[in-house]
Amino acid sequence: MTSLHAGHLEGSDFLQQDAIRAAVRETYATVRPTDRRVAERFYDRAELAGLPEDTVRIALGVGNPIRYADLRPGERVVDLGSGGGIDCLLAARHVGPTGDVIGIDFLPEMIDRATAAAAAVDAANVRFIQGEIEALPLPDDSADVIVSNGVPNLSPRKVRVFAEAFRVLRPGGRLAIVDLVLDHDLPPEIATHPAAWAGCLSGALSEIALYKGLRRAGFRDVAIERVDDFGIDECALYPLFSDDLLALLRSRVPAERHGSIAASVVVRARKPTGDEILPGRSMATNARIRRSSR
Ligand SMILES: C[S@@+](CC[C@H](N)C(=O)[O-])C[C@H]1O[C@@H](n2cnc3c(N)ncnc32)[C@H](O)[C@@H]1O
């Protein structure tokens, strides 16, 4: 695997972007459905009922964004980093036949897998498009809701990801993402470990950096709510964490933090409508929002 020398600078993007991107691609291109443990931790029996078994077994998120997205019939939902498609298939049930769901993933392997899953459950209102979350292949102001599950952390360009989400949302549109945040810097061996990056851990921001990144992108009413601790036992649920990496975590992370290396959070935010004059928003952003809401 590619080695990383990532500098984790609060409030800025990461260094060595190509190495990070290559490690993430390599990991998810080869991951296969394993067991139901991740899905059963975050989704209840009714949610999992009726989903293809492989979709359940390749759930790789860190929470359940659909529970927090308050989806309504007729809405258009975009899922950033849709993977095996579990959240798209669940979102499709909420938005119904008058709404639609678009999953974005940069790996053709994931797009094919998720497309087959949607076909298997006759979810005609779901489609998957190959693309990068840093350059979404979607028009401005075209989505009502953006969801994501354990993906912005994987990007070396998070500010860019948030800016793209903002661009694609219609004025008044909503964001509901689940991801990990860090309260303490990780030991350097973990912070630069490719599999720890691919496992959503090393790329995690602090809560304040996440808040600032979303505000900088233009979002308002940014609310970050802690859902759960994420410790070594949780890492061990994922096929992404090898025994070697788990051993490294046990030896390098102070014992009192083994149960809480990170925390899972749900992040909700809103793109302002055109007629809102908000303090802290630049004149250029105000003008752009006004133009796009006409
Ligand atoms: C941790 S998995 C989560 C998958 C899915 N959201 C879930 O909950 O099971 C991350 C997914 O995001 C995709 N991904 C990672 N970085 C991406 C990027 N920059 N652009 C598009 N997709 C990306 C990966 O290919 C993978 O399918």
Taking only the tens place, the pLDDT of each residue in 8-32 is: 444 344 447 888 899 999 999 999 9
| 18 in any annotated domain | no
| 6 in any annotated domain | no
For 100-129, what is the mean pLDDT?
Answer: 98
CATH classification at residue 242? 3.40.50.150
- Domain span at residue 182 reads 25-292
pLDDT in tens, 132-175: 999 999 999 999 999 999 999 999 999 999 999 999 999 999 99
| 13 in any annotated domain | no
Q: What is the pLDDT of residue 11?
A: 38
> For residue 257, is pLDDT > 60?
yes
Q: Taking the model in full, what pTM does it have?
A: 0.91
| 17 in any annotated domain | no
Q: What is the pLDDT of residue 3?
A: 43
CA dihedral 176, 179, 183, 187 (to 10 degrees): -160
Any idea what DSSP says for residue 132?
A: B
For 241-263, what is the mean pLDDT?
Answer: 96
> For residue 96, is pLDDT > 80?
yes
As a residue count, the chain comes to 294
User: With pLDDT > 90 as the criterion, what percentage of the chain qualifies?
Assistant: 83
Contact 150 CB / ligand 1 (< 6 Å): yes
Residue with CA nearest ligand 1 atom 26? 83
Q: What is the pLDDT of residue 276?
A: 75
| 15 in any annotated domain | no
| 9 in any annotated domain | no
Number of domains composing the chain: 1
Counting ligand 1 atoms within 8 A of each CB, the residue from 68, 105, 130, 132 with the most, and so the one to mutate, is: 105
Burial (CB count within 10 angstroms: exposed 0-12, middle 13-18, buried 19+), residue 149? buried
> For residue 6, is pLDDT > 60?
no
